[in-house]
Amino acid sequence: MVENRFPPPELEISSAREAVAHWEHYPHEADMGVRGFGATKAEAFEQVALAMTAVISDPAAVEPRDRVTIECEAKDEELLLAEWLNSLVFEMATRRMLFSRFAIRLDGTRLSAQAWGEPTDVARHHPAVEVKGATLTTLRVARQDGGWMAQTIVDV
Amino acid sequence: MDTGLFTQRSEHEWEIPRHGAMRVPAVIFASASLIREMDQKVYEQAVNVATLPGIVKASYAMPDAHWGYGFPIGGVAAFDPDEGGVVSAGGVGFDISCGVRCLHTGLTRDEIMRAQKDLADMLYQRIPAGMGSTGTIHLDPVETDAMLGGGARWAVERGWGTAEDLERIEEHGQMHGALPGNVSERAKRRQRDEMGTLGSGNHYLEVQEVTAVYDAAIARSFGLKQGDIVVMIHCGSRGLGHQIGTEFLSRMAAAAATHGIQLADRELACAPINSDVGQEYLGAMRAAINCALANRQILTHLTRKLFAHFFAHAQLRLLYDVSHNTCKVEEHRVHGGLRKLYVHRKGATRAFGPGHPDVPEALRDAGQPVLIGGSMGTGSYVLAGTKESEALAFSSACHGAGRAMSRHQAFRTWHGRQVIDELAARGILIRSPSSRGVAEEAPGAYKDVSAVVDAAHAAGLARKVARVEPLICVKG
């Protein structure tokens, strides 16, 4: 199954979709929970990524000017969420970048994505913390209210 | 938690008797008030660990235990390979060999206070800290493998330290059995520019003053006295360790079923010690331990250079270096017999007692130094391992204050600027790239480190030696 989600960012988001797509943090004693909601599973995955950026810095302050392509796969859709976030952690760490815009295409348990962002600028982004990795704790991908919800806890 | 959930073995020892799939009981060391403040998840996770194959005696949690991944943070568990015992990536954690080292300076408070602001600024400038920071040492593939095999010994051979340093580090600065070939290219890639960096979160470099001595004799053999100035460095294996943790967590989660292991929680991800993936992980994890030891050694070198600039006579001798997140092969006496066990300590410190052959000779009569980092601006402690700790929890003690509040809640409760100003008014200078990071690490977001240390002392896990309080704190 191919989900219909791979527009270039400038074409992005109808208002109806905007109403559905959002992210939030949820508490964990030592670390941080990241949760995304979307009309599609891919959109929920994009929103979790945005929530992860928000653990570090204000996503609105991150300019989506450089593009990185990411591909990954896993045994099931939940492990795929962890894999996706961990791939992003790797790109953030090795490219020293932060990302604020994502476009994901899902094909079963394979994911291909483009992420837009810019090099980390300490003076402007004030990174609060570095994400070490996505954990499998409270990891969940599920249908919710006619859309999708995806969540896990990231270790910081 | 409700203390009624436990069978109280002694004032500071709370047992969860075997039930359901548990192979052994679970035991939490804490005061009644720490138990009451502790998250219910610690109970669940300590119970889950007790269900793993080959676990010996009990699943333990230290007084600073809190909700972790699979294993509680502050969890200790030993496994016997001959009884199907497992090694768990979740039982070690992402930041492999995260730890603390403490350096004597030979300086006085007055000397530090005269240079306090300049020293704080300079440390902040020269010690790479926080997300996106890079070290000054960049390793090619050959040197990376040499570092992963050699640990702090490798760093000393490159001129970043002295042979005396190695005697004051667990494993003499070099973890044997490390297999750099088992470390993925991605993990190595993450480390390429991160040698000699502090990291972020709860990692720090502090200049501290000894403000109390509880055990004069042990303090003397550790070379500590009231008013002494020390430097404590808290950090780990950086991106390399995180990447190894991530990769093996997912591999072990997928492989558990093929080894017939039922996981109560995916994050308990583990594999038999005597399996290909178990052995592969051990080789990679030991390489990450070496990475952490080398990293702290390089940071020590940078700190020494900087202190020499300010204080020509300062000699920063290493008191000791402990690791928190490890799995190590150790001999322990169980039911009268010596057994070789794989001891996981996740957010817990090895705490060998007096006379143990792995404690440096100069400290052997006193016991291994146990360095407990407190929250920013409160205080930290130096303890010593005890003889009875072996029978209590395979010679283990707590590792820090432990969080009492989520980052989320801390960020809503405090402003970084306000925390920095309040600490400055008390004579403590904080330097950090992120005001939000400071808010999330506010002292009030942590448990009272003194209560944790008192419980460890009263339980007999380690003996209180000295308290230190910060004058300068560089936070990532």
- The answer to whether B282 touches B81, Cβ cutoff 8 Å, is no
In angstroms, the Cα distances linking B370 to A91, B51, B229, B366 are: 36, 29, 18, 11
CA distance B373 to B411: 21
Whether the CB-CB separation of A55 and A129 falls below 8 Å is answered with: yes
Residue B285 CA from chain centroid, whole number = 15
With a cut of 50, say whether residue A2 has pLDDT above it.
Answer: no
A109: pLDDT strictly greater than 60: yes
> Is A89–B242 a contact, with Cβ atoms under 8 angstroms apart?
yes
| Annotated catalytic residue, options B399, B408, B415, B457 | B399
CB of B55 closer than 8 Å to CB of B78: yes
Q: What is the CATH number of the domain that holds A49?
A: 3.55.10.10
Q: Mutate which of A97, A137, A140, A153 to disrupt the B interface (most B C-beta within 10 Å)?
A: A137
Closest partner residue to B190 (CB to CB) among A31, A90, A139 is: A90
Three-state secondary structure along B113-126? Answer: HHHHHHHHHHHHHH
Residue A89 counted as domain residue: yes
Single-letter residue type at B471: L
- Check CB contact of B184 with chain A, cutoff 8 Å: no
Rounded Cα–Cα distance for residues B276 and B340 (Å): 20
Residue B276, class by beta-carbon neighbours within 10 Å (0-12 exposed, 13-18 middle, 19+ buried)?
Answer: exposed
Contact status of B257 with chain A (Cβ, < 8 Å): no
pLDDT at A5: 35
Domain that residue A135 falls in: 20-155
Amino acid at residue number B342: Y
| Interface check A18 vs B, CB under 8 A | no
Q: In this structure, is residue A10 part of a structural domain?
A: no
Q: What is the DSSP string of B39-93?
A: -HHHHHHHHHHTTSTTB-S-EEEEEEEEEEESEEEEEEEEE-GGGT-EEESTTT-
Tally of CB atoms within 10 A around A65: 11
Q: What is the pLDDT of residue B131?
A: 81
Question: Which one of A129, A136, A155 has the shortest CB-CB distance to B131?
Answer: A129
- Domain assignment of residue A15, yes or no: no
Number of Cβ atoms within 10 Å of the Cβ of A10 = 7
Per-residue pLDDT tens digits for B149-172: 999 999 999 999 999 999 999 999
> B91: distance to nearest CA of chain A, Å?
13
Q: Which residues lie below 8 Å from residue A121, measured CB to CB, with a gap of 6+? A: none
Residue A12 in domain? no
* CA-based nearest distance B336→chain A, Å: 38
B199 touches chain A (CB under 8 A): yes
What whole-number distance in Å separates Cα of residue B36 and Cα of residue B14?
12
Q: Which chain B residue shows the shortest CA-CA distance from A98?
A: B132
Interface residue A139 vs chain B (CB under 8 A): yes
Residue A73 belongs to some domain of the structure? yes
Confidence at A19, pLDDT banded by 50, 70, 90: low
d(CA B33, CA B1): 9
Tell me how crowded residue B318 is: count the other CB atoms within 10 A of its CB. 23
Contact state of B408 with A127 under an 8 Å Cβ cutoff: no
The first and second tokens of residue B18, run together, are: 């075997």
CA distance B115 to B119: 6
Judged by a CB distance cut-off of 8 A, whether residue A7 touches chain B is: no
CA distance B130 to B208: 21
Q: Check CB contact of A130 with chain B, cutoff 8 Å.
A: yes
Q: Is the dihedral of CA B402, A82, B49, B186 positive or negative?
A: negative
DSSP secondary structure letters along B348-413: -EE---TT-TTS-GGGTTT--EEEEB--TTT-EEEEEE-STHHHHHSSEE--B--BSS-HHHHHHH
Beta bridge partners of B212: B467
DSSP 8-state secondary structure symbol assigned to residue B268: G
B424-438 CB burial, b ≥16 within 10 A, e <16: eeeebbbbbbbbbbb
Of A79, A96, A135, the CB nearest to B69: A135
How many C-beta atoms lie closer than 10 Å to residue B250's C-beta?
22
Confidence at residue A11, expressed as pLDDT on a 0 to 100 scale: 35
Q: Output the pLDDT for position B365.
A: 97
B-chain CB neighbours of A134 within 8 Å are 246
This prediction's pTM: 0.94
Q: Which of A30, A75, A126 sits opposite B254 (nearest CB)?
A: A75
Cβ proximity of B243 and B401 under 8 Å: no
**What is d(CA B412, CA B439) in angstroms, rounded to the nearest whole number?**
8
Inter-chain Cβ pairs, chain A and chain B, closer than 8 A = 125
CA distance B400 to B314: 28
The answer to whether residue A4 is domain-embedded is no
- DSSP single-letter state for residue B178: -
Q: Assess whether B399 carries a catalytic annotation.
A: yes
At A128, list the tokens.
Answer: 């609060």
Whether B250 sits inside 8 A of A27 (CB atoms) is no
Q: What's the token pair of residue B255?
A: 């492989």
The answer, for B69 touching chain A at a CB cutoff of 8 Å, is yes
Percent of chain A's residues with pLDDT above 70: 88
Tell me which residue in B70, B199, B435 faces A130 most closely, judged by beta carbons: B199
Which residue in chain B has the smallest CA separation from A79? B250
Tell me the average pLDDT across A45-61.
Answer: 96
For residues B150 and B156, what is the distance between their CA atoms, to the nearest angstrom?
10
**Best mutation target, A23, A79, A90, A129, to test chain B (most B CBs within 10 A):** A129
Kindly indicate the confidence band of residue A15, based on its pLDDT and cuts at 50, 70 and 90: very low
pLDDT of residue B456: 98
For residue B202, the model assigns a pLDDT of 85
- Predicted ipTM? 0.86
Q: Are B406 and A28 in contact (CB < 8 Å)?
A: yes
- pLDDT, tens digit, for every residue of B168-222? 999 999 999 999 999 999 999 999 889 999 988 889 999 999 999 999 999 999 9
Q: A76: nearest CA in chain B?
A: B254
> Minimal Cα distance from B66: which residue of A?
A29
A1 is a domain residue: no
Please report residues of B whose CB lies closer than 8 A to that of A32. 406-408
| CB atoms B190 and A94 under 8 Å | yes
Number of neighbours of residue B461 by Cβ within 10 angstroms: 30
Identify the three-state secondary structure at position A90: helix
At B48-75, the pLDDT tens digits run 999 999 999 999 999 999 988 899 999 9
Contacts of B406 in chain A (CB under 8 A): 27-30, 32
Half-sphere exposure of B31 (CA within 13 A, CB side): 15
Out of A25, A119, A130, closest to residue B201 by CB: A130
* pLDDT < 70 stretches in chain B: none
**Residue A26 pLDDT exceeds 50:** yes
Nearest to B201 among A82, A129, A133 (CB): A129
Q: Across residues A59-71, what is the average pLDDT? A: 97
Return phi, psi of residue B328, to 5°. Answer: -125, 145
Instruction: Give the number of domains in chain A.
Output: 1
Contacts (Cβ under 8 Å, ≥6 apart) of A54: A23, A25, A34
How, if at all, do strands A140-144 and A147-155 pair?
antiparallel
Establish if A132 touches chain B: CB-CB under 8 angstroms. Answer: yes
Which tens digit of pLDDT belongs to each residue from B2-30? 999 999 999 999 999 999 999 999 999 99
Q: Residue A68 gets which letter from DSSP?
A: E
A11 Cβ contact partners less than 8 Å away, ≥ 6 residues apart: none
Q: Is residue A63 part of a domain?
A: yes
Q: Are B67 and B93 in contact (CB under 8 A)?
A: no
